[in-house]
Amino acid sequence: MSEDENSDLEQSAEPEQESTPNRPFQNRKARGILSLFMWNQVLIIASLFLAMMGLQTITAGDHSIPGMAVSGFFLLLAIGLLITSADFFVEGAKGLARRVGIAEIVIGLTIVSLGTSLPEILISTQAAWEAYLNPCQVGSADCATDFALGNIYGSVLVQITLILGIVVIVRPMKVKPDWIKRDGTMMFVAVLLLSMLIIIDGDLNRIEGALLCLLYVFYITYLVQHRDKIRSEEFEMIEDIRSESGFEMNWTGATYFVMLIIGLGLAMFASARVVESAANIAVELGVPSAVVGTTLAAIGTSVPELAVAILAARKSTGVAVGTLIGSNITDPLLSVGLAALVNPITVHNTSLFYQLIFPATLFCTALALVFMWTDFKFNRQEGGILISCYAVFIMLLYYLT
């Protein structure tokens, strides 16, 4: 056998040797339900839940503690529980999907894609449900649906300016042209379409919400059908990050099902507490609930994207951008679409949305795409400009309210 043939055999064998560390849990014995109680992730979730219950019990009959301080701390605990329990739910869903033989890339394009946006999905649908149970008065200046819409636009704005700017300052990056042409364009179209549907008549009805959800389904279907060449690197990188952090473990099918149910239940509970706490903070500060949704709630629910983007930037500069773009497609399409299906979304504080939130989100999204198109690179100066844009938005928000 020639030296060339030997080298070819060695190269073909390398992927098999390298693949083992990336999926160490596959070769381990599956853990049962009782093992969950010794897992750090469960201990964190339990601690956050008990802290929320304890705070609610302590402050129930004690009016000496400032309401703003209680609502603010409760909001932080609720967002923390929402993020961790949503991740717990996604882990259970992924495990069950693997058990039934679904391909890893399909799991990445569907379940993992929804994972980082699950907090926004639950918050927006919970706010819409609150508006359904307690309909807003005609002509009122504020409503729970304003909070839901503000949270979605705020999340897009935070991720495309603040988080992307931080990631680029940490490490300048190159951007794949295919991602910008496909996902970048889709992101801008999603934000633009949502804004136009609302501006036309001041609300988003159930038919329009179904249209947004259907568009997202078409987009995901396209990615799945072209999964051999689309975004596979992104999801492989995210899985490697989670594996290295010790998060990925092998569990039994029953354990994954328990994770699915408990994670979803706690995430729904936490999302209701987020909406409730945000409404209390808005009353205490005397500002519209959309302000709280656009700032505090949006920043809090965007923490998973920041963590994944920074870790991904250290390994593959393009993956960090792809992760943020993917999340900003899910939020304006699926998150708002589902909320509109629960209860039509009507904008009550029209001046705040029409004069600032809508234009700022569209402008910053377009600006980020222009930076990406310029030699398909992101430098530190451009990252600083994006962060400055978010700072200007906060100042204008403070001025208008």
Q: Mean pLDDT throughout 298-307? A: 83
Which residue range forms the structural domain that includes residue 371?
30-400
What is the reported pLDDT for 183?
84
What pLDDT, on a 0 to 100 scale, did the predictor assign at position 60? 72
| Rounded mean pLDDT, 18-39 | 56
Which tokens go with 385?
A: 């400009």
Model confidence pLDDT, tens digit, residues 179-199: 778 888 999 999 999 999 999
Report the chain's mean pLDDT, rounded to a whole number: 81
Q: Which residue has the higher pLDDT, 88 or 320?
A: 88
Q: Give 337's pLDDT tier (boundaries 50, 70, 90).
A: very high
* pLDDT at site 394: 94
At residue 24, the pLDDT reads 44
- In this prediction, residue 155 carries a pLDDT of 93
pLDDT given for residue 170 in this prediction: 83
Q: Is residue 137 part of a domain?
A: yes
How would residue 287 be classed by pLDDT, with cut points 50, 70 and 90? confident
Number of domains in the chain: 1
Closest CA to 42 of 274, 265, 263, 273: 263
Q: Could you read off the pLDDT of 323-335 as tens digits, one per residue? A: 778 888 999 999 9
pLDDT at 153 over 80: yes
pLDDT of residue 246: 46
Can you give the pLDDT at residue 48? 92
Per the domain annotation, does 355 fall within a domain? yes
**Could you tell me the pLDDT band of residue 50, with boundaries at 50, 70 and 90?**
very high
Residue 218 has pLDDT above 90, yes or no: yes
Token pair listed for 233: 């690197």
Q: In this structure, is residue 69 part of a structural domain?
A: yes
Mean of pLDDT values over 89-107: 79
Q: Tell me the percentage of the chain whose pLDDT exceeds 70.
A: 78
Is 208 inside any structural domain? yes
Query: Using alpha carbons only, what angle is made at residue 386 by residues 382 and 388, rounded to the nearest 5 degrees?
Result: 110
What is the pLDDT at residue 315? 61
Which pLDDT does position 279 carry in this prediction? 85
Would you state the pLDDT for residue 167?
85
- pLDDT-based confidence at 254, cuts 50/70/90? confident
pLDDT higher than threshold 90 for residue 114? no
pTM of the model: 0.81
Average pLDDT over residues 353-365: 95
Residues 6+ apart with CB under 8 A from 387: 161, 162, 165, 166, 169
Residue with tokens 């990445």: 108
The pair phi, psi for residue 183, each rounded to 5°, is -75, -40
Has residue 260 been placed in a domain? Answer: yes
Residue 339 in this model has a pLDDT that exceeds 90: yes
* Residue 198 within any structural domain of the chain: yes
pLDDT at 220: 87
- Spatial separation of the C-alpha atoms in residues 151 and 39, rounded to whole Å: 32
Quick one: pLDDT band at residue 102, thresholds 50, 70, 90? confident
Judged against a pLDDT cut of 50, whether residue 8 lies above it is answered with: no
Asked if residue 10 is part of any domain, the answer here is no
We report the CATH number of the domain holding residue 296 as 1.20.1420.30
Q: Does the pLDDT of residue 19 top 50, yes or no?
A: no
pLDDT confidence bin for 250, thresholds 50/70/90: confident
Percent of the chain with pLDDT over 90: 33
pLDDT in tens, 117-152: 888 899 999 999 988 888 877 656 678 889 989 999
| Local confidence band at 5 (pLDDT 50, 70, 90 cut-offs) | very low
Q: Is the dihedral of CA 4, 8, 9, 11 positive or negative?
A: positive
The CB-based long-range contact list for 223-232 (8 Å cut-off, 24+ gap) reads 223/109, 224/106, 224/109, 224/110, 227/103, 227/105, 227/106, 227/109, 228/105, 230/178, 230/182, 231/108, 231/109, 231/179, 231/183, 231/322, 231/326, 232/105, 232/108
Q: Is residue 144 part of a domain?
A: yes
The gap from C-alpha 88 to its chain's centroid, in whole angstroms, comes to 14
Specify the amino acid at residue 102. I
